[in-house]
Amino acid sequence: MKDFKGKVAFITGGASGAGFGMAQIFSEAGCKVVIADVRQDQLDKAMDYFKDKDAQVHPILLDVTDRKAYIAAADEVERVYGTPPQILLQSAGVNAFGPAEASTYEDYDWIVGVNLGGIINGMVTFVPRMIKAGLGGHIVAVASLGGFGPGPTTAPYSCSKAAVINLMQSYYEALRPYGIGVTAFCPGNMNTNIHEASKTRPKHLQNTGYYETQETAEAYRKHNELGLSIREVGEHVMKSIEQGVVIYIPNEEREMIIRVHMQRMIDFLTPEGMARHNAQAGGPPPEMPPEEIAAIVEASKVGWAKARPDIDWVAPNKKA
C-alpha cells in the first residue's frame, strides 16, 4: 500500500506512545483514524492534541482483552466511517519485568492476555470484516525485538511477542489472496509511556512476583527516553506498510540482529553449540547501545527487573 488518503485506520493503544505516534502520522497522511485505548485520561489528552489539527480522529474506550467490547468497537467504526478499517494497527501492549522463576499466574495472564490475546481478538474481530468489505488493506501488529530474544527477566513479555511474530507470519500467507498485507513491527527501545503500564493492570490480576515501585518505573522511564520518538515510530510503521515486509525492524542493523538470534537457536541444537552459548550467555541483546545498557544497570540498582523481596525461592541477588 502506498496511498493512505481517505483510508480508515484503527489503532489500538492509540492514545499513547507508539500508537499515538501512528495516529499523528497516519492522520497527517489523510487517514480517517480511530484511536482505541483502555485509558480514558490518555484518550482525552490525545483528543486534545488533535483538537486544532486538520484531522479526522475518533476515540473509543476499549480493553482489547474484552471480546464483546471489541465487536462493539468494530460496529462503531463502521457507523462512524462507513467501512471497516483498511489499516489495522495493533499497538496496545504492556510489560513488567522480573526473574522468570518469580512470575505469577497473574503476571502471565495480564501480559500475555493483552500482548497476544489482544492481538488475536483484533484479528478475529476485524479480518472477516476486512475481507467482506473487499477493499484490501494492511494489518500491523506491534511485537518487539524482545520477541526474538528471550531473557531471564522478560519471560511473559518475550513469549507474548514471539507468538505475535509467529502469528503474523501465518496471517501473511492466509491473507495474501485477499490483498491484505501483514507486518509484525519489531522495535527496540521507544520513548513512550510504557513505564506506566501497571496503571492499566486489572484488579483481579494485581498479584505480581516482580518488584515494582515508583522508583523502578522512573528508572525504566529514563531508559525508554533514549529510544525512538513516537513520530519516528509512526513513520517507520508507515514505511513497513509501503514496503509490504512481513517483519519490520526499525534499526539499520536488522539483518545482524536476526543472525545473532538465529545463531543462538542453531547453537541450541548441539552439545558443542550449547557449550559455545553457555560460555557467552548473560550479555545484553546484540542491538542494545551502550547508553541503554548503562541505563538498565542503573535501573537494576533500584530493584528494576528484580523479584519481590518476600519470594523465598529466588536467589538473593535476583531480589530487590
Catalytic residues: 157
Q: Tell me how crowded residue 74 is: count the other CB atoms within 10 A of its CB.
A: 22
At its nearest, how many Å lie between ligand NAI and the CB of residue 109? 12
* Residue closer to ligand NAI, measured from CB, 164 or 307: 164
User: What gap in Å lies between CA 147 and CA 36, rounded to an integer?
Assistant: 24
Residue number, 99 or 227, with CB nearest to ligand NAI: 227
Judged by beta carbon, residue 157 or residue 311, the one nearer ligand NAI is 157
Closer residue to ligand NAI, CB minimum distance, 114 or 155: 114
- How far apart, in Å, are the Cα atoms of 230 and each of 6, 97, 191? 23, 22, 7
Binding site for ligand NAI (CB under 6 A): 12-13, 15-19, 37-39, 42, 62-65, 91-95, 114-115, 118, 142, 144, 187, 189-190, 192-194, 196-197, 200, 224, 227
CA distance 20 to 177: 31
Three-class SS state of 180: strand
What pairs with residue 90 in β-bridges?
Answer: 12, 141
Query: CA 239 → CA 145, 180, 185, 295, distances in Å?
Result: 18, 16, 11, 29
C-alpha cell at 113: 492476555
Question: Smaller CB distance to ligand NAI: residue 254 or 277?
Answer: 254
Toward ligand NAI, which CB reaches closer, 85 or 187? 187
- Which residues, listed in sequence order, are joined to residue 141 by a DSSP beta bridge? 90, 184
CB of 87 to ligand NAI, least distance (A): 16
CA-to-CA distance for 138 and 179, rounded, in angstroms? 8
* Helix or strand run (H / E) with residue 108: helix 105-112
CB of 240 to ligand NAI, least distance (A): 14
Edge-first strand listing for the sheet containing 137-142 = 56-61, 32-37, 8-12, 87-90, 137-142, 180-185, 247-248
Min dist CB 260 to ligand NAI, Å, is 17
User: Which residue matches cell numbers 492509540?
Assistant: 14
Instruction: Count Cα atoms within 13 angstroms, Cβ side, for 20.
Output: 21
Least distance from C-beta 161 to ligand NAI, angstroms? Answer: 7
**Which residue, 150, 281, 288, is CA-closest to 224?**
288
Shortest separation between residue 34's beta carbon and ligand NAI, angstroms: 12
What is the phi/psi pair of residue 276, to 5°? -60, -45
Q: Please, which residue, 137 or 156, has the CB nearer to ligand NAI?
A: 156
Helices (H), 176-313: 214-224, 230-243, 254-267, 271-280, 290-301
* Min dist. Cβ of residue 265 to ligand NAI (A): 21
Give the C-alpha separation, 211 to 82, whole Å: 46
DSSP category for residue 319: B
